[in-house]
Structure 1
Amino acid sequence: MQNKTFTVADYLLTRLKQLNVTEVFQIPGDYVKHFTQTLEHFDGVSAVGAINELDAAYAADAYGRTRGLGAVSLQYGVSTFIALNAIGGAYVERSPVIVISATPGADARQITRMYDVLYHHSTGNLDADQEVYDQVTVASETLSTSAGAGEKIDRLIIAALTYKRPVFIECYKEVWGEPCMPPSGKPLKPIIIKSEPLALVNAVDTAWAQLTAAQQPMIFAGVELLRHGLSGLLQELIDVSGFLYTTTSLGKTVLDEGGDKFIGTYSDQASIESVRNLVASSDCFLTLGTIITDDYLWFIENKYADMVLATTELVRVGYFIYENVTMEDFMKALIDRFKTHGKPYPLDVTAPPQPTYPEPWLSNSDPVFADQPHILTYNRFFQHTMKFLTDKNMLKDIVWTFGISSAMYVATNAYGLPQNSFLSSAAWQIIGYETGATTGAQLGSGKRAWAVAGDGGFMTVCQSLSTLARNKLNAVVFVMSNQVYAIEQVYVNMDAFKPGPEHQFDTFDLLPKWDYLALAKAYGAEGFRVTTITELQDLLFVLADIKDKPALVEVVIPQKDLPGQMRRLGNE
């Protein structure tokens, strides 16, 4: 039951509820107590207590990616600073998250001015939290009074919805509990930004000339299309143009991965051969909503002039940049051009057939272990797991989470995943995201979360397993257990993967051996360990039937297993 007095905290929670944010991830604290106490009794929005700040913020990020908006409540200073890493990832990868906190109140600030008292969790600069979060948010506010609080909260939420990036709000300690008028019953909406008409015409004219002159045009789709609800426009553009399409690693599953126009995900040299060849031979890329990271340096170095690029930040055709043109308007105008033009559009081209099982995994599995067909490798894990899920028609019910790891690059070779079912830290590239994200991914999507972690990444945020258990979520966390930072070693010195004792991993890339079964028991999860393909195949049936409890699976792979995907990346 709500407090009798409607407060600033009630206002924010009401706005979140109107936008179908039914969970807020939280870390408790005395400064933010008025908000957390209100949250605890607020009808329609549940508090999800996390074990640490990264756990909470990763969960809020994944929730934002799957539900459309996430929220995390944090203690001042010591909590917000820890969570900064996760919110930085949400900022880079376009996940709208409301970061909620509180700061020392008016009384504490007066005492500080009078007596030079340093309050707990403070650096001495009481504005430090907002100043820091200004670097990783599109809007921020510190509310010193309830006067005007509703309007300021609305502006922040609208900014998050418009730009699909985090915002930061902190109140003086007492303000969250101060009286406030309720909001209107109408949910907030993003601002609709329109193009400057002449600039739009010029951009489309130039783009049309380049697209129609191309012999092998292709669409290169990115995550912004998914975040901004433009996947439908992407599908329409594919239909009217007939172009083949690929996606970035971060944009994987921007559409359901099916049909005869999807060539596969382009993850540079980690891609399968047919994808690499098609990208290399294409002479024009309609590049939409992509975040071009240094994973795509070859692409930029070789295809920059061939790009017709539209993102939320700019439109570029070849070397020409057009300002005040939105991606949505640009896509709609191109669709109209294709419809009006007619033949030869839509082009009568089809993507190469998807690799036939056991490809693409078999040819990418480390050949060093070819004479040990029973043991597990990165590629053999995905080979048998994906076949099981496909045969059992389970892919539609699963959302995958990946931090940066060898497993993530291997997984980009998968086909047949449904829309918005592949969440990764492919741009920010943080280890551990996959485990922390599971709670938010499952609650946000309503699907079962399956995380695939490197053991180094899992070790950074393993406490998330306890959050899953406490909330009775049956997520599965696979830990690829080789006791090394394998992806790090690839870029430091790939010779370490060569057979023989003379080839050693760098000491800083070695990890301790953990007892994962004992760890699972301590956190309230089911624990399993698999060392062979047969053990994995048998376990997959067991995992399918687990309810109301997470599962931790140690997947034992050779320390020197080097997937073909990573070998090609490392040699680039």
Structure 2
Amino acid sequence: MNMSEITLGRFLFERLHQLKVDTIFGVPGDFNLSLLDKVYEIDGMRWAGNANELNAGYAADGYARVKGLSAVVSTFGVGELSLTNAIAGSFAEHCAVLNVVGLPSVNAQAKQLLLHHTLGNGDFTVFHRMFKNISQTSAFISDINSAPHEIDRCIRDAVIYQRPVYLGLPSNLVDLMVPSSLLQTPIDLSLKPNDPEAQEEVIETVKQLISQATNPVILVDACASRHNCKSEVAALVDATQFPVFTTPMGKSGINESHPRFGGVYVGSLSRPDVKEAVESADLILSVGALLSDFNTGSFSYAYKTKNVVEFHSDYTKIKQATFPGVQMKEALNKLLETVKSSIDSSYEPVPVPRQKLINSPAPESTPLTQEYLWTKVSSWFEEGDIIITETGTSAFGIVQSRFPNNTIGISQVLWGSIGYTVGATCGAAMAAQEIDPKKRTILFVGDGSLQLTVQEISTLCKWECNNTYLFVLNNDGYTIERLIHGETASYNDIQPWNNLQLLPLFNAKDYETIRIGTVGELNKLFADKAFAVPDKIRMIEVMLARMDAPANLVAQAKLSEQTNAESA
């Protein structure tokens, strides 16, 4: 850049552009309009223009899961509060979202003017204080001189901790000038080094446990992906040849075609062979665990050993001993240097469970079931796909499928906000466009969840995200809720929609709509080579029986109902 000075607003977007964040999500509002002007000054950057702030937050979350960082812009008060649900989900599930809020001018704040979008009490920091509970860090900018440093700090913390950060920018500051030379120094995204002595104790203890183990396993969870440790996990499996399993949230944390991959462990809801393989282990190396109820089969892990090592993004735990600050990325790399020498020479890699993916032949007229869908779909997936599954039947059903190499799996098992995936698909599809226009983004969402955030399909159409497949599982309402409680209750009903009219309603240009309801129709669809080519946005409505659900969801629902009914 030849300019000696640039506006603060442009500085922000140049910093994001340097980190390959080239789509900005959000909704315009009068306190952020001048800031949004600066998006168009950056070559290759686009303003998504979402349908509402909640959807924009979901989209930013999906984008961050593909690219490692995203940004969403809202306006003070009414806009930012509509984002809270999405930002809370990103906080819970470790997603790096820069939450930029356009604030009233510094002068208006100082005078405590009774502005619109306020609570009418002159308190301009109240919403910032709300977000502190769901943000890794925050900055409420008031001084142009420190503003570039604060922006850099917020971006760095978002990336390092993989959590949302809050950045409040007053409307009068975004047009003030800052030195453009500041952009020449990249943001330092390196992790703080682990304490050498603590890390050495961790490594030596882990190596000792490995040397004594005869039946060890590796268990991969969500934070292995979120905190960029997938390559370390793969190297650990290659070096040790230990069996490796994932949790539902950890699915795609290891290439599932790896010969040592044994399946998905969900406690008591696991396949019997997977349950036995994990729970009979005499050493468990757990990477990036998020031990929520739906991720663990309602906390039904039943390890027969106390030899459990947990590698986390900011600490390591061995049995009952916790080592704060021993971050897993550096610790795993250090372990990899010598781990082979620690394995007992008599160790023989045991066979791992193998999942049957092909159903028994069924007449083509057989009504489609989730059990058939989730095993058959594995044959249609391709390497590099982004596969997004909604909370409910889809998130549980996908556990039964097998992902190809280099798949990105997206689900919100911990936060579990219904409708999250429609917005997340928008963000993921736009990220995929930037990486490779032919990279497929595949959504599986229930007909009930779709109704909460359906407007974001409009944004997919606006940006011609023709790499997107929208599978709508139509089981006439909230099946997961019916399974937990109220099978015939009207509160689990929804108003039926003509779902296949949504793409023309949202003015899609190149699109295809398909409805299937039998085994034969599904088989024909997945055998169609033209259907596999991502050259148009597609909606596929999958007609299912009202109470049809994956077997593990039926079991989980019973556990959830028991938990909800327990007295103190």
TM-score by length of 1: 0.89
Residue of structure 2 equivalent to 1:341:
342
Residue of structure 2 equivalent to 1:544:
532
Superposition CA RMSD, Å = 2.5
Alignment check: 8 A CA contact 2:74 2:101 kept: yes
CA displacement at 1:396 relative to structure 2: 1.4
Distance 1:123 1:133, change over 3 A: farther
Larger mean CA deviation between 64-73 and 371-380 belongs to 371-380
> Distance in 2 between the 1:107 and 1:9 partners?
18
Alignment check: 8 A CA contact 1:269 1:569 kept: no
Letter in 1 for 2:402: Y
Distance 1:532 1:562, change over 3 A: same
Residue of structure 2 equivalent to 1:515:
498
Alignment check: 8 A CA contact 1:220 1:245 kept: yes
Residue of structure 2 equivalent to 1:532:
518
Aligned positions of 1:18-417 closer than 5 A = 18-112=18-112, 117-122=114-119, 124=121, 125-182=123-180, 183-295=182-294, 296=296, 297-300=298-301, 302=303, 305-341=306-342, 343-344=344-345, 347-358=348-359, 374-387=366-379, 389=380, 395-417=382-404
> Distance in 1 between the 2:110 and 2:333 partners?
56
CA displacement at 1:462 relative to structure 2: 0.4
Identity %: 25
Residue of structure 1 equivalent to 2:563:
none
CA displacement at 1:118 relative to structure 2: 4.2
1:195-230 superposed Cα distances (whole Å, 9 cap, x missing partner): 222222322333334333333211111222222322
SS of the counterpart of 2:183? coil
CA displacement at 1:384 relative to structure 2: 3.3
Residue of structure 2 equivalent to 1:484:
477
CA displacement at 1:181 relative to structure 2: 1.5
> Distance in 1 between the 2:307 and 2:119 partners?
51
Alignment check: 8 A CA contact 2:25 2:49 kept: yes
CA displacement at 1:237 relative to structure 2: 1.3
Distance 1:449 1:277, change over 3 A: same
CA displacement at 1:523 relative to structure 2: 1.3
SS of the counterpart of 1:17? helix
Distance 1:473 1:123, change over 3 A: farther
Residue of structure 2 equivalent to 1:365:
none
CA displacement at 1:128 relative to structure 2: 2.2
1:327-386 superposed Cα distances (whole Å, 9 cap, x missing partner): 123223432342333542774223133325128xx9xxxxxxx99962112222233333
Distance 1:546 1:193, change over 3 A: closer
> Distance in 2 between the 1:102 and 1:122 partners?
16
Distance 1:347 1:237, change over 3 A: farther
Alignment check: 8 A CA contact 2:484 2:557 kept: yes
SS of the counterpart of 2:169? strand
Distance 1:454 1:345, change over 3 A: farther
> Distance in 1 between the 2:120 and 2:220 partners?
43
CA displacement at 1:325 relative to structure 2: 1.8
> Distance in 2 between the 1:300 and 1:539 partners?
38
Alignment check: 8 A CA contact 2:220 2:286 kept: yes
> Distance in 1 between the 2:22 and 2:112 partners?
38
Alignment check: 8 A CA contact 1:257 1:419 kept: no
Alignment check: 8 A CA contact 1:226 1:420 kept: no
TM-score by length of 2: 0.89
Letter in 2 for 1:212: S
1:278-317 superposed Cα distances (whole Å, 9 cap, x missing partner): 1222232111111111232444565683421110132111
Letter in 2 for 1:535: E
Distance 1:562 1:161, change over 3 A: closer
> Distance in 2 between the 1:530 and 1:473 partners?
23
Alignment check: 8 A CA contact 2:419 2:450 kept: yes
Can you give the 5+ residue segments of structure 1 that lack an aligned partner in the other structure? 363-369, 497-504
Letter in 2 for 1:71: A
Letter in 2 for 1:379: E
Distance 1:12 1:205, change over 3 A: same
> Distance in 2 between the 1:571 and 1:371 partners?
32
CA displacement at 1:550 relative to structure 2: 2.3
CA displacement at 1:253 relative to structure 2: 0.8
> Distance in 1 between the 2:120 and 2:214 partners?
60
SS of the counterpart of 2:134? coil
Distance 1:427 1:458, change over 3 A: same
Residue of structure 2 equivalent to 1:499:
none
Alignment check: 8 A CA contact 2:229 2:329 kept: yes
**Mapped pair 1:559 → 2:556:** no
Alignment check: 8 A CA contact 1:484 1:511 kept: yes
Alignment check: 8 A CA contact 1:403 1:433 kept: yes
CA displacement at 1:451 relative to structure 2: 0.4
Distance 1:568 1:212, change over 3 A: farther
Distance 1:52 1:344, change over 3 A: same
CA displacement at 1:273 relative to structure 2: 3.0
**Mapped pair 1:467 → 2:465:** no
Larger mean CA deviation between 481-490 and 150-159 belongs to 481-490
1:540-570 superposed Cα distances (whole Å, 9 cap, x missing partner): 43643462x4222221100021321212323
CA displacement at 1:232 relative to structure 2: 1.7
Larger mean CA deviation between 141-150 and 321-330 belongs to 321-330
Distance 1:59 1:280, change over 3 A: same
Letter in 2 for 1:311: H
